[in-house]
Structure 1
Amino acid sequence: MKRKTRLLIIGIILFAGLIPTLRAQQIGLKTNLLYWGTTTPNAGLEFRMGKKWTLDVSGGYNPFTFSHHRKLKHWLVAPELRYWTCEAFSGHFFGLHGIGGEYNVNDIDIPIGRLKKLNNYRYEGYAIGAGLTYGYQWLLGKRWNLEASISGGFVHFDYDKFECAKCGKKIAEGKNDYFGVTKATLSLIYIIK
């Protein structure tokens, strides 16, 4: 798993290397308010690449362990290329995004489908995927915007499964492929320039 994590990090660094070449006319600094609902600090930068194109690079990091060894520890990076139907940072947009990260999850009660298992075991692993986005951005003021978006696509999970939160032995390894909602945002944005 460490080799795969290194490859993911190298890919993210290479992708981030493109950012200085964008010569953005506008940059938006953002945070996803919905993601904060999972106790995950997060931020993103969106760079204007042309009249109708932007590049959004967002990420989150959750280092917290809660009472009774509950945790939703993870880091996540999600770059997205966006096409705006009118003008960048205003109105409707469509996007193509990637997603990647690592996780360590235990005793999280989500009573939906496959996620029910998160309540009984601890899972560690990585995830990588891609998808399509639809969203809308409202102008709130000269420098403030509000964005809502929904994304759907594919995510591949590689994981190790453990008996209990702290001391449990590894009982399985596995892979899981997920098709469905990959991202939902309600983001507050500050336009830097």
Structure 2
Amino acid sequence: MLKYKFLTGFLTLFLLGSLKAQEQEKSLYVKANALFIPIGVFNAGLEYQLNSKYTLQGDVFISPWKSFAGNHAQIYMGHLEGRYYFKEAFKHWYIGINGGLGLFDLTKWNYRGTEKFQRGFNVMAGATVGYQFQWKERWNIDVYLGGGTSQGFYHGYESVPPDSFIRYDGAEGWNRSGELIPYRGGIMISYKLK
């Protein structure tokens, strides 16, 4: 009886040790979007490995421009995205689902060339497709495009010289706008922290 307890205990410890040895260290990458840096827009994030094929990425997008080419262009967004890699985490093709929130003070595309602009917030939910590959030791490049539904809530304003504005839309509360649009994309340069 004592032999069986000893043998069972030994096998249990052996199996637990084997499982521990098979666990891989989870990687963490810090990343920045190379496409937006030249125009002074900040887009950076962290991607953390959950297991061999799944990661979780959190990122922020900041366009600090009060005016860009004569139009309002301030945007502040944050996203959380779960990713599934077909081969293994941080390597080759992946798909992801994401959700995000944003604040904006911008001139919508159909108001360019006017004194009208919009201020508000939006909620986003959608998907991403991308490809990530190793560039150098500890460095990856992540090329991706994502989009989905963007539900905006805003007030419409018109600039009144010299430094004032009035509401042009006549709405009682928030104007609402919902679109299917691309809202994520770029070329992220990633550095492996661990």
TM-score normalised by the chain length of structure 1? 0.77
Whichever of the two has the greater Rg, that structure is 2
Deviation per residue, 1:94-116 (Å, 9 max, x gap): 0001121100114xxxxxxx722
Q: Which amino acid aligns with 2:109?
A: L
Q: Is the 8 A contact 1:105 1:118 kept in 2?
A: no
1:39-118 equivalence runs, <5 A: 39-66=40-67, 70-106=71-107, 115-118=109-112
Structure 2 gaps, min length 5: 1-24
**Aligned counterpart for 1:150 among listed residues 145, 148, 169:** 145
Q: Counterpart in 2 of 1:4?
A: none
Q: Counterpart in 1 of 2:131?
A: 136
Q: Which amino acid aligns with 1:59?
A: V
- Higher strand residue share: 2
Task: Say whether residues 1:169 and 2:179 are aligned partners.
Answer: no
Q: Is the 8 A contact 1:34 1:184 kept in 2?
A: no
Deviation per residue, 1:52-108 (Å, 9 max, x gap): 0000000022333247864311211011000000111110000001121100114xx
Quote the sequence identity (%).
Answer: 23
Structure 1 gaps, min length 5: 1-23, 107-113
Aligned-residue offset at 1:118: 4.1
The alignment of Structure 1 onto Structure 2 pairs a total of residues equal to 163
CA distance in 2 between partners of 1:67 and 1:52 (Å): 40
Larger CA deviation: 128-137 vs 117-126 = 117-126
Note the aligned Cα RMSD (angstroms). 2.0
